[in-house]
Structure 1
Amino acid sequence: MTGVWLRPRRTSRTGPPLSRERIVAEAVALLDAEGVEGLTMRRLAQRLDAGPTTLYWHVSAKEDVVDLALDQIFGEVRLPADAGDWADDVRALLTGWRAAMVRHPWSAALIGRPLLGPNVLTRTEHLQAALRRGGLVEPHLGAATHALANYVIGAALTHATWQQLDDPEARHAAREHLAGQRDTYPTLVEHGHLDDRDWDETFDHGLTYLLDGIRGHIRSPC
């Protein structure tokens, strides 16, 4: 079965007006409110005040809706100017990407899907073009792209999960459990393995380490 981006888009139908844009906007709102588990074609049709048959005219399955919604949130990521230092452009792009996924916590767990939407492809093209401008060539270009993408997805997923499971009592009990094993895990206890953190600052530091490593490879290729 081909994905939504590989099928011709239907543009007309007799009956109540319902555009792909309306469907996607409502799907994102439903996903933000209830997560992937709350997204069903029936629930989406109800929110759109449309019958399931009308909805299926535009999208063939829930997977289509998810793909369209993912591409929609990628559209929130501002494109860098591609005029400055390549690492600055990569940082701007990936910082915006993570912020978009944090705003839409359901998204990070779904990024492993094959994504062929125009917003995804455009931003991936900008990422690789910036790395290429910095001097990376294959196989290092592909490796760096995947390393950076996986870091952003992992950071957003961890942040989203932490927020969804935010239970102060459970967190306190976990800290107490860890503190009781200080001799076994001294570094984790000392450096706050389970403490609250500045997520933006932590992400930015980690991204700096990755970009410094890439820059070092460019200067001294193996």
Structure 2
Amino acid sequence: MSPQEQAETGPQTPVQSVWTRPRAGREQPALSRDQIVAEALRLLDSDGIDALSMRKLGTRLGAGATSLYRHVANKDELIELAIDEIYGEIEIPRSTDPATWRADATGCAQSLRATMLRHPWIASVLGEMGMSYLGPNAMRLAEFLLALFTRAGLPTAEADQAASTLVAYVTGMATSEAAYLNVLARSGHTEQQYVESLWPTAEQAAESYPHLREGYAEQRGKDPRTARDENFQYGLDRVLDGLETRIIH
């Protein structure tokens, strides 16, 4: 159907969302949407995204899959709810002082990263889950960042862009790290063991690339978690440096 034909048919049906649909009443005393989401999170954290199914979740809850569908329409909605539950773990600074905007942004960004890394399965679904940004915890984060950059002196439209830039950096870095941690978990080794086993192959592959060889030599023997933390903080500082040029007049 062309845009003109769509316009002639009148307004389109609003997109449905788990965040705006009324909750179903309880079918049995022990079953609620909150309990379903909590158990789904335990399953996701222990076994990963591929292990999640409505049937398996129902078995763990002692209920049929049909009972779960009274609370969530499908597995995608369930993951959307689980993602927002994770976002509820993010620590939001309480300060309202415009002068502390950079420290507050740093604290929030670090907490967002740490939260994502506690649940590395999120790397495979973040950005694909419909309207997860409409969840109350996701909106709490968005509201905080908008208020922070507005108080710091940015107009509303630019504050929104600044918040999006910051979140994009953190989620991009954390998603890559989470994917790496998923691989690490499957290897059965500690991070130090895993990285040490990779060095000979990496160094051999980099023989024709002098800058890479130099970089590898500097990193060899360094604690890999410390290196990840430093790399994240370097990029975060540069993002905030850029935003600071827009805030200081």
2:69 counterpart SS class: helix
**Which amino acid counterpart does residue 118 of structure 1 have in structure 2?**
P
Structure 2 gap ranges (5+): 1-14, 185-193
Distance 1:185 1:78, change over 3 A: closer
Residue of structure 1 in register with 2:64 after alignment: 51
2:203: which partner in 1?
176
Cα deviations by residue, 1:151-204 (Å, 9 ceiling, x for unpaired): 1111211211222223447623432233422347455445549x7351233322
Q: 1:66: which partner in 2?
A: 79
> Are the counterparts in 2 of residues 102 and 160 from structure 1 also a CA contact under 8 Å?
yes
Aligned residue in 2 for 1:205: 234
Q: How far apart, in 1, do the equivalents of 2:175 and 2:146 lie? A: 23
Contact 1:178 1:185 in 2 (8 A): no
If asked which structure has higher relative contact order (CA below 8 Å, sep 6+), I would say: 1
- TM-score where L is the length of structure 2: 0.79
Change (3 A) 1:132 1:191: farther
Aligned counterparts of 2:124 and 2:142: Cα–Cα separation in 1: 18
Identical-pair percentage: 37
1:145 aligns with 2:163: yes
Aligned partner letter, 1:52? A
CA–CA distance in structure 1, aligned partners of residues 213 and 30 of structure 2: 63
- In structure 1, distance between residues paired with 2:31 and 2:171: 33
Q: How many residues align?
A: 219
Task: Supply the distance in 2 between the matched residues of 1:179 and 1:130 (Cα, whole angstroms).
Answer: 44
Indicate which of 147, 154, 160 corresponds to 1:136.
Answer: 154
Does residue 40 of the first structure (1) align with residue 58 of the second (2)?
no
Greater CA drift, 15-24 or 95-104: 15-24
Which one of 75, 85, 102 corresponds to residue 117 of structure 2?
Answer: 102
Deviations 1:15-56 (A, max 9, x none): 463011111111111111122111111111111111111111
1:10 matched residue in structure 2:
24
Q: Compare CA radii of gyration and give the structure with the larger one.
A: 2
**Runs of 5+ consecutive residues of structure 1 not aligned to the other structure:** none
TM-score by length of 1: 0.87
Please, what is the CA RMSD of the aligned residues? 2.4
